[in-house]
Structures are given as structure tokens and as C-alpha cells.
Amino acid sequence: MALTFSTNGCEALEMAVIRVPYYVVRNGRGYWQPKANMRALGFECTACGPDGPEAHAKAQALNAKWKEFSQEKTQAPATPKRGSLDEAFARYRATPEWGKKAPRTREEWERAWRHIGPTFGDVAPSEVRMDHISLFRERVAIGVSQREAHRVIKIWRALWRIAASMRYCVAGADPSLGVRNSEPERRQAVWTHEDARLLVRGAWASGYRGLAAIIAVAWDSSLSPVDVRKLTLSQRGGEGRRDVFAVARAKTGRAAAATLSRAARRVLDAYLASLGATLTPDAPIFRNRSGRPYSKDTLGDDFRSVRAIVFGEGESRTLADFRRSGAVEAVRGGASLDLVGQKLANDIGSNPSLGRTYVPVDLEAVRAVDKARKRGRK
């Protein structure tokens, strides 16, 4: 049988939808959107530009990076080699000191180990040279991102100190000290109080009532997204106060007083009343439209949807930028960095230390920052 071709068939091929893994199109613009397990390894959501061949090519390049990385060995051997970095890390994880780390910090170490382990896990730390670390960092930077490479070397240095304390290596002989670990350019994006107010109104009007309450609480409290979405009723209103949540930050475990303005309390209380059911004291407060507690992914997805509704698809600021925005507002209003550190429950203005002893939060200092933020809006 002879094969025949028609121009209609060619046109159909030209009009065929090009399917690129993890590539999505929103309002004519393409985005490479990796899954949660990929993001946990450092692969980030990336804007590829207007939908078309160039955007498809960018997404395909990112897919190639992921494929190369995912094919590499990422699991440590069942029985670590004696004297190896594998053994040192395994012994450290078996100590009470590992358990004392905040869950988010342990996750960060495990994430870095997925890069470090396959390359250096089965060798003695003393066998690793500076040129090995330099090439390793470059491979992570090219294969994943500069931000991930910076994070991995930071954890390597902390792990080296732990290994040295267990006599696997010499503390001052860390080969990574000869490698420049430049920190990626930090985000500078900030929101204004009016921006936050518009987001709350837009989320509520669009049916994202749980998100509207999260935005209101996150703006006033300066908590990170993960800390906000894990809030419970049992944390609210200590000693009869309805305008504060007493929390321990997920990343550090440090105590924080999450204060709320009258406007934020109104939004929160209206949202709670709209649930039509009474939450148990330890249940997560904030729910998505399905009624399930917000997860990291659903919170990000819903926030991006509302952000596009309110500010358009070109807006790229995130919910995490609220913490920076609050600090900027407070400093403009005259608050000192020490007081802002009380509000954020971190060591802003000084070098952070993982071994720092956490002190009780000063609620009056936090309220002083709230007043300074109001002055900063003017």
C-alpha cells in the first residue's frame, strides 16, 4: 500500500500541542513547575517567558538537569564504610544532638546530604581536597542552582566541624575553606501595607477565605508561611489576649509572639465563623477551599492565583516576602534592629549562630515594633 501525505496533515502537526514535562502555561506565559519532591532537592519553579519555542527550550533544558540529577545515586549504603563521611554523618544522626535540631534544620541537612553523600560519602574526610570541593560546588550550581550550591557548601562546613569533633578529620583542615562560597543575590522584593490589604480583599472576594486570613495574619505577625499555616487555636490568646499567638518558629524553634492588629483579628474571626464548625484546639486553623489544612504546595498555588487576580500575571513577589516587608516598614518607623529581631524571632543585625540559646520573647518589644510599623506607613 502506498503512503500518501496531505498538507492538512502537516498543518495538524504544526498545530499539535507540544507537551513538555512539568511545563504549564498561564495567561500566555510558560512556567517550569517541578513537583514537591523535586523542589525539596533544590529545583525551583522557573518563569520561561511567553509561551512558544524559546520557553519550551528553557523548560526542556531544566528537565535535562533534573533527569541527570535524578539518575545519580542518592542513597547512602546500608553499612557505612569505616572511617568514611557516611559513618560520621550516621553516628551524628544517632546522637541526641541531632534530635535537638529543629525539624526544618534537619530537613536542610538531609537535603544537602543528597548531594554530598553520593560524591563524598564513602571516602574519609581527610582524602577530600580543595579542588574536589570546587568541582563539586560547580556541578551543583550548574546542575541545580547557585542557591543550592551555596546551601550545600554551608552544610558541608558544618558537617566537617561535627566530623572533626568525632575525630574523623582535623577541624582547621576543611578543604572547602579554599573555595569561595558566594551567597546568591538576596531577594529585595517588598510589599506595602496597601498591597497586603488588597490581597486580603481579593482573596476573600474570590472565595479563598482561608488564604485571606493567612495573608492578614502573616502581614501583622511577620511569621514565615510555614509558621502561619501551622497555627492552632491553642496558641492564640495566652493570658486572655486575643491579639497574639505564642509560637515556636519551625526553622529554629525560637519563641515568637505573633501579634495581630484589630483589622487582622476581624478577618481571622470572620474566617473562623465562616467554617461552620468548631476546630479542635490543636487542629491547623487555616484551610483551603477543599476544607483540608493548607500544605506548602496548596498555599503557594492559591497565593499565586490570588496574586494574579489582584496584581496580574507579571507580579512575582511571594508570601515569604512579607517578613522582609515588615522589617523594612519597622525600620522606616524608627525601630532598632534589636527590636525587629524580637519581632522576627531571629538575630537580625548580628551573625546568627545555630548554637545560640533561645531567650523568652519580649512581648512589649514586639508591640513597640508594631507601633513603629504604623509610623513607617506614613
- Write down the mean pLDDT value for the chain: 82
What pLDDT is stored for residue 340 in this prediction? 73
Residue count (the chain):
378
**Band of the pLDDT at 228, cuts 50, 70, 90?**
very high
**Cell 547512602 -> residue:** 76
Q: In this predicted model, what pLDDT tens digit does every residue of 42-86 receive, in sequence order?
A: 677 888 888 888 888 888 888 888 777 766 544 545 688 999 999
Per-residue H/E/C for the chain: CCCCCCHHHHHHHHCCCCCCCCEEEECCEEEECCCHHHHCCCCCCEEEEECCHHHHHHHHHHHHHHHHHHCCCCCCCCCCCCCCHHHHHHHHHCCHHHHHCCHHHHHHHHHHHHHHHHHHCCCCHHHCCHHHHHHHHHHHHHHCCHHHHHHHHHHHHHHHHHHHHCCCCCHHHCHHHHCCCCCCCCCCCCCCHHHHHHHHHHHHHCCCHHHHHHHHHHHHHCCCHHHHHCCEHHHECHHHCCCEEEEECCCCCCEEEEECCHHHHHHHHHHHHHCCCCCCCCCECCECCCCCECCHHHHHHHHHHHHHHHHCCCCCCCCCHHHHHHHHHHHHCCCCHHHHHHHHCCCCCCCCCCCCCCCCCCHHHHHHHHHHHHHHHC
Tens-place pLDDT, residues 175-197: 999 999 987 777 778 899 999 99
Q: Tell which wins on pLDDT, 357 or 132.
A: 132
Cell of 321: 516576602
- Tell me what pLDDT residue 8 has: 45
Residue 5: pLDDT band (50, 70, 90) is: very low
pLDDT greater than 90 at residue 155: yes
pLDDT digits (tens, 9 = 90+) for 321-375: 998 888 888 878 887 777 777 777 766 544 343 223 223 355 666 778 888 888 8
Which of 42-51, 243-252, 304-313, 328-337 is predicted most confidently? 304-313
Split at pLDDT 50, 70, 90, the class of 164 is very high
Distance CA 297, CA 228 (A): 14
What band does 250 get if pLDDT is binned at 50, 70 and 90?
A: low
Least confident of 122-136, 249-263, 336-350: 336-350
Handedness of CA 276, 284, 311, 42 (dihedral sign): negative
pLDDT at 359: 31
- Residue 302 is predicted with a pLDDT of 94
CATH number belonging to domain 85-178: 1.10.150
Confidence of residue 87 (pLDDT cuts 50, 70, 90): very high
Question: Looking at residue 16, what is its pLDDT?
Answer: 42
Q: Do domains 85-178 and 193-311+318-352+360-377 have the same CATH topology?
A: no
Strand pairing report for 46-50 and 244-248: unpaired
Q: How many C-beta atoms lie closer than 10 Å to residue 255's C-beta?
A: 15
Domain locations along the chain: 16-70, 85-178, 193-311+318-352+360-377
CATH-assigned architecture of domain 193-311+318-352+360-377 = Orthogonal Bundle (1.10)
